Amino acid sequence: MLEQTLASFHQGTSLAVLTGDLQTDNDAKRLARYGFPGRQIVTGGTCHLDARMVTRHLDEMGFRGPGILFVENVGNLVCPSSYDLGEAAKIALLSVTEGEDKPLKYPGTFHRASLMILTKTDLLPHVEFAPKLALENARKIHSKIEYIALSSRTREGSPEWLNWLRGLRTRVGQEVAAIS
């Protein structure tokens, strides 16, 4: 999903990516081909990123806003949601291969998320998964969570995702202008 998203932006866009993982820099290597500054944060076993890690890597990259910073936290639904990274929005990704009950099993993630993206929707004909039930479960935890169904293979939902990002940039810009 992140690859497809980066491919949607023009070179020269103020954008950077930080990816967190327990080991390897495979994600950062794969994303580098899109030409945006990026860095892998290898946690060495820690199940989450924290604000100090993010700040240190942004400083080392020399990335300064305003712009878009994608932070892909360590890939689980438990630890990452508890840590404030200074983000404008948390986005929960739920794959159709994971089960509709995940919002109920990991309520912290879905409670803190502004948006739930249902991923790998191209697999729906091949798995038992009820998107409506997954959204109902997420809204039991966070009644106002926004929702997009997305397939990186078919690009279903991509326009909605990019529009959501544009809207977030507008909302954040307005908030900053109001604070200044």
Q: Is the predicted pLDDT of residue 61 greater than 90, yes or no? A: no
How would residue 8 be classed by pLDDT, with cut points 50, 70 and 90? very high
For residue 52, what pLDDT is reported? Answer: 86
Give pTM, 2 decimals: 0.86
The CA distance from 162 to 165, in Å, is: 5
For residue 81, what pLDDT is reported? Answer: 67
- Which architecture characterizes domain 88-180 according to CATH? 3-Layer(aba) Sandwich (3.40)
For residue 148, what pLDDT is reported? Answer: 98
Q: Is the predicted pLDDT of residue 51 greater than 90, yes or no? A: no
Please indicate whether the domains covering 1-84 and 88-180 agree at the CATH topology level. Answer: yes
For residue 179, what pLDDT is reported? Answer: 42
Residue ranges of the alpha helices (H) in the chain? Answer: 2-7, 26-31, 51-61, 102-105, 107-112, 131-141, 158-179
Closest CA to 108 of 95, 90, 120: 90
How do the domains of the chain map onto residue ranges? 1-84, 88-180
- Which architecture characterizes domain 1-84 according to CATH? 3-Layer(aba) Sandwich (3.40)
Q: For the segment 73-129, what is each residue's pLDDT rounded down to a tens digit?
A: 776 666 666 667 778 888 999 999 999 999 999 999 899 999 999 999 999 999 999
Q: For the segment 10-43, what is each residue's pLDDT rounded down to a tens digit?
A: 888 888 999 888 888 888 899 999 999 998 887 7
Q: For the segment 141-167, what is each residue's pLDDT rounded down to a tens digit?
A: 999 999 999 999 999 999 999 999 988
Residue 116 near residue 145 (C-beta atoms within 8 A): yes
